Amino acid sequence: MRNWFAVGTQWGSLMVHGRMFRVSAMLATILSVGIAQGSGMTEAVPGEFLVKVKKTSELNTKKTMSLFGATEVRLVSQPQNIYLIKKNILERPEFAMRSLQADSNFEIVEPNYIYRANLMPNDPKLTDLWGLSNFAQKGGKAGVDVGAEKAWDIQTGSRDVVVAVIDTGMDYTHPDLAANAWVNMAELNGVAGVDDDGNGYVDDIHGYDFANNDADPMDDHGHGTHCSGTIGAKGNDGKGIVGVSWDVRIMAIKFLTAEGSGTLENAIKSIDYATAMGAHIQSNSWGGGAFTQLLKEAIERARDKNVLFVAAAGNETNDNDANPSYPASYDLPNIVSVAALDNAGKLAYFSNYGRTSVHVAAPGVDITSSVPKKIKAEGYDTWSGTSMAAPHVSGIAALLKANDSHAGYKEIKSKIIDSARSLGTLRNKVASNGIANAYYALSGEVPPLDMEDPYNWTTTAASAESAHPYKNNAAESFVVTVPGAKQVSIYFERFETERGYDVVEFVDSTGKVVGKWSGNHNGEFAPTVNGDTVTINLKSDGNVNGFGFIVTKAAFK
C-alpha cells in the first residue's frame, strides 16, 4: 500500500477481514483518480487528462473543447502527439476518463498523476558523510559505504559527464554546487528573451522549471539541492561536503513544487528535456501514481538515447515485486531502482524492496548534504529516504561514465549491479543482494563475501513445520538444535503468514528474542541466534490464516 501526502482529508472507517481500519476521503477540491492500471485511489490533478493522439490524426482544439466540454487544451509533447485536456473538476473522473477513451483518435488516455518527493526528514544536525566513508561513526558499522575513498584513487569525475537531477530544482549558486552546475552555453551567450538554441525554451541557462513554466530551476524546497550535493558537490575545494563525483555537470530540472509535488505532464516534459539536452544520467528521487504508459514511453525515449534512469525505490516499506512503485518499477532496461540502508548495513525501516525489481541498496539514513541557505542557514542538512540513496548510485554512474566515455546505460547498469558488495541483511531484498560500491564498479575487482551471511556458512539438514494452514489463535513452539554450533540460522523453504498480524519469533537458548517475521519470507534464512539452539514461536490471531512455514536446513558456524 502506497503512502500518499494529502491535505484536507476527512476520516471514515472500513471493515476488512473483520478488522476496522481508518481511511481518508479526499475533499472534492482534491479528487483522486483511480482508473488506470494498478491503481486503487491514486492522486491526480482534478479534471486533467493526458491524451496521446494517433499519428494519423490531428487534435482540433476548438472541436475537442466543444466535444468534451474541455476548458483548456494544451500541448505537452509535439513529437509524441501528447496533449493535456482540462475539464470541469466537478465532473466524475471515471466518466470523464471513459468519454475520452471512447474517442477513436486517442491512442492513450491517462489522468495527470501527481508525484511526490521520496523525502523523510530527520535530525537536522550535521553528521559525517558515512555513506561515502563509514568508520563506525554514530554507532554504525565500519565499511558499510559506497567505497568512495578507494574509488577516488581511480576516478574523481569529469565535467564531460552530465547528470540531470529531475526534482525540486537546484540551488545552482550554492558554494558546493556552483562550480558543477550545468550551463547551456547557447543561452548564456545568446540574447535575453530569445530561444537561442531552438529547443523550445527561452533562456534555459541552468535547466528549466516545469512546475512554474519558467527558465529558472532554482530550488524552493531543498530536496533537489540535497540530492545534487550527494551526486556532485565540488570536491577538493576546501568547502563544505564532497559528492560521490567531485567533477560533473548537474542539470537542474524542476517539476516538483515548493510543496514537493508535481504532475505527470511535467514529469514527461522534464524527462524529455533532459534527454534532448544531452544528459547521460537522469536521477529521480520521486514517486507516486499508478502505471502510466506515457511516463514509461518517456523513459523509453531516454533509453533510446542511451540514458541511464536512476530511481528511488520508495519509502512505504513495500515489496515492489508484489506492489509496483513507479517510476522505479517500470520494466525497462535503463532503470536502476535503489533501496535505502542505514549505517549498520540494515535495510532502512521505511525502504521499499524487491528481490527482482529493486536492484541495489545505497546509504539513505541520516545523510548530510547541501540545501539552499534559505532552507537552512548553514547550507547543509541531514535527511533520510530512498531519495537520499538514489543519488549515491547516480554519483557512481557518473564516475563510471567519466572513466569510460563510451559506456552507455547497459554497461553502467551492469557494473553497478554486478559489483554490489553483498550483505546478508540485504539477501533477497534487492536483486544484487548488496550495497552499490564505486570502487568495485570501477576496478572490476570481485567484492568479498559477507561472512556474516548464513548463505556462506556450512549447512546441515533440519526440520520444523507448522500446520498448513496454521490455526486461529495459534501459540506453538518448535525447536531446532545443531549440536556444537556457536551460531545458527534456519532456512525456510516456505514461509507465509498474514503480514502484520501473525508473527513468528526467533529465540536463542537464553530466552532472548533475536528477531520477528511476518508476511512472506520464502527461501530465506532467519535471523541468526548465538548458541546451538533456536526456538521458533508461532503466534496467530483469529482471522485470515496463512500457509505457515517449512524449515528444511540450518546454517551454522
Residue 452's nearest CA partner among 472, 425, 413 is 425
Residue 504's nearest CA partner among 478, 538, 528, 476 is 538
Residue 538's DSSP bridge partners are: 476, 504
Residue 386's nearest CA partner among 432, 422, 427, 436 is 436
Catalytic site residue from 351, 387, 432, 466: 387
Judge whether 387 counts as a catalytic residue: yes
Catalytic site residue from 174, 221, 223, 392: 223
DSSP state of 28: G
Q: Are strands 281-284 and 157-167 parallel, antiparallel or unpaired?
A: parallel
Count CB atoms within 10 A of the CB of residue 296: 16
Report residue 215 as a C-alpha cell: 527558465
Task: Yes or no: say if 341 and 363 are a contact pair by the CB < 8 Å rule.
Answer: yes
Helix (H) or strand (E) holding 548: strand 548-556
Judge whether 521 counts as a catalytic residue: no
Task: Yes or no: say if 25 and 10 are a contact pair by the CB < 8 Å rule.
Answer: yes
Residue 105's nearest CA partner among 134, 79, 74, 68 is 68
The residue type at 455 = Y
- Burial status of residue 435 (CB atoms within 10 A of its CB: 0-12, 13-18, 19 or more): buried
Residue ranges of E strands in 64-156: 70-77, 82-87, 106-117, 120-121
Catalytic site residue from 167, 171, 366, 532: 167
Provide the 3-class DSSP secondary structure of residue 296.
helix
Angle at 546 between CA 543 and CA 547, to 5 degrees: 150
Task: For residues 322 and 231, give the distance between their C-alpha atoms in angstroms, rounded to a whole number.
Answer: 30
Residue 299's nearest CA partner among 285, 289, 309 is 309
Task: For residues 380 and 246, give the distance between their C-alpha atoms in angstroms, rounded to a whole number.
Answer: 17
C-alpha torsion angle, residues 201, 207, 212, 215 (rounded to 10)? -50
- Burial status of residue 239 (CB atoms within 10 A of its CB: 0-12, 13-18, 19 or more): middle
Judge whether 453 counts as a catalytic residue: no
Task: Yes or no: say if 71 and 62 are a contact pair by the CB < 8 Å rule.
Answer: no
With cell 540485504, the residue in question is: 426
Catalytic residues: 167, 223, 387
